[in-house]
Amino acid sequence: MDVWQQFIILLEGVPLTLSISIFSFLIGIVVGLPLAFIRVYEKEISFVVDAYEKIFRGVPEIVLLLLFFFGLRPFFPFPFGNAFFVACFVLGLRSAANQSQIYRGAIRGVGDEQMIAGMSVGFSKWRAIWYIMIPQVFNFSTSGLGSEYALLIKDSAYVYVIGLAEVMTRSLQLAKSGPGDYVTPFVLGAAIYIALTFPFAFWLDKWGNKRKKKIGL
Amino acid sequence: MADFVMEARNVYKTYSIKKIKKGDAACNVPVKHQVEAVKNVSLQIRKGDIKLIFGPSGSGKSTFLRCMAMLDIPDKGEIYLGDECLTAPGADLNKARARIGFVFQHIYLFRHLTALGNVELALRQVLKLPKEEARKRALDALNEVKVSDCINKYPAQMSGGQAQRVGIARAIARNPDIILLDEPTSALDPELTGEVIDTLRDLAKEGTTMLIVSHEMPFAREVAEEMIFYDEGKVVETGPPSLFFNAPNTDRAKQFMTRIINRTTRE
């Protein structure tokens, strides 16, 4: 099999790698934002968030993937029987723990004054968060989110352990099936991962700088 | 029907700040330090009143004003907005704050919104006005403070005076029962101060109920019905401007007025 053929086989794994990363990223936003605001503004229950973050940041993804997929599948075939779901679920919740920390810094950057100004016009705490804090939080977290996204693209490689045919799984199969060529498939895979990570992080950083200029930071 | 638009009864507020105490060698120890910013302060405001609080910086004027809007919760005492006791447990503070306009010393416009967006947001999302009406009222308010030329500018693109007038527009657009202004001009340079003072003068002419923390003495003399001299967390002396500008009763007020008037004439 020539290099080009191998490359095509790997490319066919890109949609899966991308969709796992993007879904996980989105889950990370949706779960991570509330976690961050709870830690900053609901001090009484922030210990729960703290525990959550410690667990998801402290346990290797590969352990979590195996645990949720093979551990929970017998008891909850739906949804844990679905490898794609488990991949997004685990990587998403792990990302939420990371993103929560990114947003916490960003909330400090936006500043408590914005929150007070929001409450002064009649918003409740959580509605001020929604209308005033969240739109500004992203301006302060673009560089952190860029590297978080890169991390997700890379970590999506771990899902080969639950048998999803994404880029890493395909590299591994090519390496095993070929006549002892372990270099080509993995170099090609590495190139694909680099191509997937950087453009988005770059664009996000640019967008963030533009936004920051607009609001005068 | 309550007599007062707003009333504070025996309000107390203490807060603790962490001061860094320089220790031996390289260890700086944070020490908790209690500040009694408001000690047994009472105040009544009738409809159409314009009252002005002044006094040395750090005396707790701003904290008291924030207590009035329940942006800081008083430790003791009651705040009434009309008949409603805001310090009672279960009071709907969000609803109450929607009826109080608050103008900040450092302006605090929503940085991600244009001038129009800043004024419109609460009309749409707090008062739940339909889109058209919210827009109309926001434009009216911006017009009133004479910033209709920068409705589509972001706070970062405005001058301090424009931004503060947008801040005032944001406060008045909801037709609040009262407007609380916390040193609205002290963060601005003298030229811009004039614009904002003109706006406040216009509001005063329209009979807007206002409680203002300010050191703008000529303005105070012109519009205030009552001036309140505030020092070390207490109301030291209360009276019409004529009292303070001629002969205040307390030595502390006399001292402060002399200093302020000297400063103004020197400029």
- Name which of A117, A121, A215 is nearest B98 (Cβ-Cβ): A121
Pairwise CA distance, residues A79 & A73, whole Å: 8
Contact A121 B104 (CB under 8 A): no
In terms of DSSP H, where are the helices of B109-237? Answer: 115-125, 131-144, 160-172, 190-205, 217-223
The chain B residues in contact with chain A (CB within 8 A) are 69, 71, 94-95, 97-100, 102, 104, 106, 108-112, 121-122, 125-127, 154-157, 170, 174
Cβ atoms of residues A166 and A151 within 8 Å: no
Q: Output the pLDDT for position B226.
A: 94
Q: Which residue of B has its CA nearest to A136?
A: B112
pLDDT confidence bin for A179, thresholds 50/70/90: confident
Instruction: Answer whether A216 sits within 8 Å of B154, measured CB to CB.
Output: yes
pLDDT tier for residue A182 given thresholds of 50, 70 and 90: confident
- Span A59-75, pLDDT tens digits: 999 999 999 999 988 88
What domains, with CATH codes, occur in chain A?
Answer: 3-214 (1.10.3720.10)
Model pLDDT, residue B2 = 64
CB-CB under 8 Å, B94 with A124: yes
> Splitting chain B (267 residues) into consecutive groups of 10 residues, what average pLDDT does each group show?
85 84 63 86 94 91 94 94 92 94 95 95 95 96 92 92 94 95 90 90 93 91 93 93 91 90 65
DSSP type of residue B228: E
Per-residue pLDDT of A123-153, as tens digits, reads: 999 999 999 999 999 989 988 999 999 999 9
Q: Is the pLDDT of residue A215 over 80?
A: no
Each as own residue / partner, the long-range contacts of residues A5-13 (CB below 8 Å, 24 or more positions apart, any chain) are A6/A174, A6/A184, A6/A185, A6/A188, A7/A188, A9/A170, A9/A174, A10/A167, A10/A170, A10/A171, A10/A174, A10/A185, A10/A188, A10/A189, A10/A192, A11/A192, A12/A170, A13/A165, A13/A166, A13/A167, A13/A168, A13/A169, A13/A170
DSSP string, A117-182: HHHHTT--HHHHIIIIIHHHHGGGTHHHHHHHHHHHHHHGGGGGGGT--SHHHHHHHHHHHSSS--
Residues of A in Cβ contact (< 8 Å) with B102: 120-121
Give pLDDT tens digits for A2-44: 889 999 999 999 999 999 999 999 999 999 999 999 999 999 9
pLDDT at position B92 is: 94
Q: Strand B100-103 vs strand B210-213: parallel, antiparallel, or unpaired?
A: unpaired
A38: phi then psi, degrees, rounded to nearest 5 = -65, -45
Binary contact (A117, B94; C-beta < 8 A):
no
What is the model's pLDDT at position B28? 67
Best of B108, B127, B175 to mutate (most A CBs within 10 Å, chain A):
B108
A88, A90, A164, A170, B182 from A69: Cα distances, Å = 12, 10, 12, 20, 58
pLDDT at site B24: 58
Question: Do B111 and A215 lie within an 8 Å CB cutoff?
Answer: yes
Is residue A48 pLDDT above 90, yes or no?
yes
Q: Is the confidence metric ipTM above 0.90 for this complex?
A: no
| Residue of B9, B86, B7, B72 lying closest to B35 (CA atoms) | B72
Residue of A nearest to B158 (CA): A216
Strands B50-54 and B210-213 come out as: parallel
* Predicted pLDDT at A77: 85
CB B230 within 8 A of CB B253: no
Residue of chain A minimizing CA distance to B172: A121
Tell me the C-alpha distance between B131 and B19, whole Å: 48
pLDDT digits (tens, 9 = 90+) for A61-112: 999 999 999 998 888 888 888 999 999 999 999 999 999 999 999 999 999 9
